Amino acid sequence: MDNSAQDPTTPPITENSSATPPQPPVESLSQPAVETAPTQVPPPNPANPETSSANPIAQPGIPSNPDFVMSSPPKPSFNSGESANPPSQPPVNPTQPNMTPEHKGRNPFVLLFIIILFLFAVGAAAYFLLPIFNINLPFLAAKKQNIAKVCTQVITPAKNIKTGTCKEYPTSCDVPMGWIKVSSCTPTPTPNPTANWKTYMNTKYGYTIQYPLDVQVNENTIKNNVEFKKIEESDNNQINKGYVVSVTYIPIVNLDNYVKEQYKNSKTACNSTAVVSNVLDTTFTGINAKQYSVKNCLSSGNNTQLYLIKDKFLISISRNELGDLESQNSNAVFTDQILSTFKFISASDSAVPDSSTSAKTATNSGE
């Protein structure tokens, strides 16, 4: 392009140089404006940037004062062959806020659990592996000695908690879970309360009965009656304490008729406060019997009548607990025990008494 054809007021634009915008004329200078012919400025040498920057482009109407420096906006640089217009920038999308919660690190309890689990695994491995490899440690040796002392070869009885089964084990260490150690698997025999009692034997009617040492025996051969009684007189001589058990043999009669008659007499003889039960069917020593009871009849306390038939005889067995209610309950224990020893015997049994009880036996022939 020919430089002479340019506008005299517009500086020439050289390649690889920045375009300087036109500056307004300065009218406030003291010297009048001098019209000068446009000066042709040679284009800057690209090879020598210092020379290009040292020779500024002269502007018309502005004195060339070396002390006067005009500031200009920064000059964008363009490469050769590029357009003067800056390249369009792509639109920038707004950054979305990060909604991911911050990572607060590991839970300290989880870390503590991992450490404890690791120590447990190490301890278990040492406990089981050291003996395998024959590695002896002092505390393991001491533990073995203690085990040897406890698990000695001593028969240890044990009882199952649920089933009650008793079994003997070679050592106490062999007793399994759910079993408890006991002193012996042999059951402790229950003391016999009648072991030291005396025995009454009636060879005529063929029966025996035992009674305590402090019980008085009264025989009535006419009535074929025997009484075993223990009576304690009260302080006011009104209510006696104790008990009476009697056995009476009656020639054969009709059992039902006899029981009805005795039942009627019991209700008539007692006052209105007495309580007479119904007649009940029961058994005594394996024999069918009938029974009824009378409570609070006059001063007789609690009376129970039992009737049965044996060898052409009607046997009447009576038990009577005297005193107040507390005394009646305690005396009932003895009357129950006395009647529990009643046995029928045959002629051979009565002929030769047991030698082990002969010293305690009182024999009545019934003559």
For the segment 91-127, what is each residue's pLDDT rounded down to a tens digit?
A: 655 555 555 555 555 677 888 889 999 998 888 887 7
- Residue 207 three-state SS: strand
Q: How far separated are the first and last CA of the chain, in Å rounded?
A: 179
Q: Does residue 297 have a pLDDT over 60?
A: yes
Q: Does residue 61 have a pLDDT over 60?
A: no
Q: What is the rounded CA–CA span in Å between residue 198 and residue 212? A: 6
pLDDT at 213: 94
Could you tell me the domains of the chain?
126-181 (no CATH), 198-364 (3.40.1000.10)
Average pLDDT over residues 168-181: 89
Q: Which of 234-238, 264-268, 274-278, 316-320 shows the highest mean pLDDT?
A: 316-320
Q: What share of residues in the chain are helix, strand, coil (percent, to 5)?
A: 25, 25, 50
Average pLDDT over residues 172-198: 87
pLDDT at 70: 53
The answer to whether 258 and 251 are in contact (CB under 8 A) is no
Q: What is the rounded CA–CA span in Å between residue 63 and residue 69? A: 11
Average pLDDT over residues 284-310: 88
Contacts of residues 230-239 at CB distance under 8 Å and 24 or more positions apart, as own/partner, are: 230/334, 231/322, 232/323, 234/323, 238/299, 239/299, 239/322, 239/323, 239/324
pLDDT in tens, 6-57: 444 445 444 444 445 555 554 444 444 445 455 555 555 554 444 444 444 4
Confidence of residue 280 (pLDDT cuts 50, 70, 90): very high
